Structure 1
Amino acid sequence: MAMSANVISSDRVEGSAVYNTAGDKLGTIDDLMIDKLSGQVRYAVLEFGGFLGMGTDRYPIPWGMLNYDTSQGGYVVPLDKAKLEGAPRYADSSVPEYDDPYTMRINNYYGL
């Protein structure tokens, strides 16, 4: 069975670079958060900060904000590092429950 060019394995998304519109690398996608009922990807969790993966935080970014750029081989978001630094985040060891208050906090931060 042929695969559609419009789908991608989560294994290929995780580890992909994320850039801002100026071309600066912000980090990489660590995880995808998928809505259990609709099956739609709700958030890409960006790994940002730290050194060699140590001390990095995870930043959930609404999936609709990411655009794949074939020329950069990664995703582009309309965010700069300063906006990202103030965003909702968590340590890898303390993943929050993505309940309604938490998702509202993320969406409000990004103006959705």
Structure 2
Amino acid sequence: MTANSTPVLSKLSDSDQTVAAPDEDVRGRKMADTQGNELGKVDDLLIDGTEQKVRFLLVEHGGFLGIGQKKSFIPVDAVTRVTDDYVYIDQSQEQVSGAPPYDPDLVDETAFYGSVYDYYGYAPFWGPGYVYPGYPYYH
């Protein structure tokens, strides 16, 4: 992908694609921060249809009993490990709470994706020299 092209991403649930192995699908798993604090759950995966790679986790967090929950993207680059029940990331609860909120009107805009990468301190996947994280469950 060139630096000037707009990435076209879609939710895995809205596509005809699947995760290679069902036990590697992290949707529905709880998410935990650097301290092991539960943040919410992985609602969906945002995939790059061209390269067939996961670029973001769509995470539901905050609120109480589903009221006031917020959805935001977390770059796949933040994932440090995955267990049967949890996806662990290298970000704090405070960082995730302040993340740019998910806005369905902006999901096709490079500027929005770029702001999420900037917020978490990662280089965007369309930038020069980007190396995809080596997690086998995202290939």
What TM-score, normalized to structure 2?
0.65
Look up the equivalent residue of 1:86 and give its one-letter code: G
Q: Number of paired residues?
A: 103
Q: 1:106 to 1:12 in 2, by over 3 A?
A: same
Q: Which residue, out of 68, 75, 79, partners 2:87?
A: 75
Look up the equivalent residue of 1:89 and give its one-letter code: P
Give the gaps of 5 or more residues in structure 1.
1-6
Give the 3-state SS of the residue equivalent to 2:52 in structure 1: coil
Q: Offset at 1:54?
A: 2.3
Q: Are residues 1:15 and 2:28 paired?
A: yes
Q: Partner of 2:49 in structure 1?
A: 36
Q: Is the 8 A contact 1:10 1:32 kept in 2?
A: no
Larger fraction in strand: 1
Give per-residue Cα distances to partners, 1:20-44, cap 9 Å, x unaligned. Answer: 1211101100111001211100000
**Runs of 4 or more off by more than 4 Å in structure 1?**
none
Give the gaps of 5 or more residues in structure 2.
1-19, 123-139
* Percent of residue pairs identical: 29
Q: 1:105 to 1:10 in 2, by over 3 A?
A: farther
Q: Which has the higher contact order (CA 8 A, sep 6+)?
A: 2
Q: Partner of 1:104 in structure 2?
A: 114
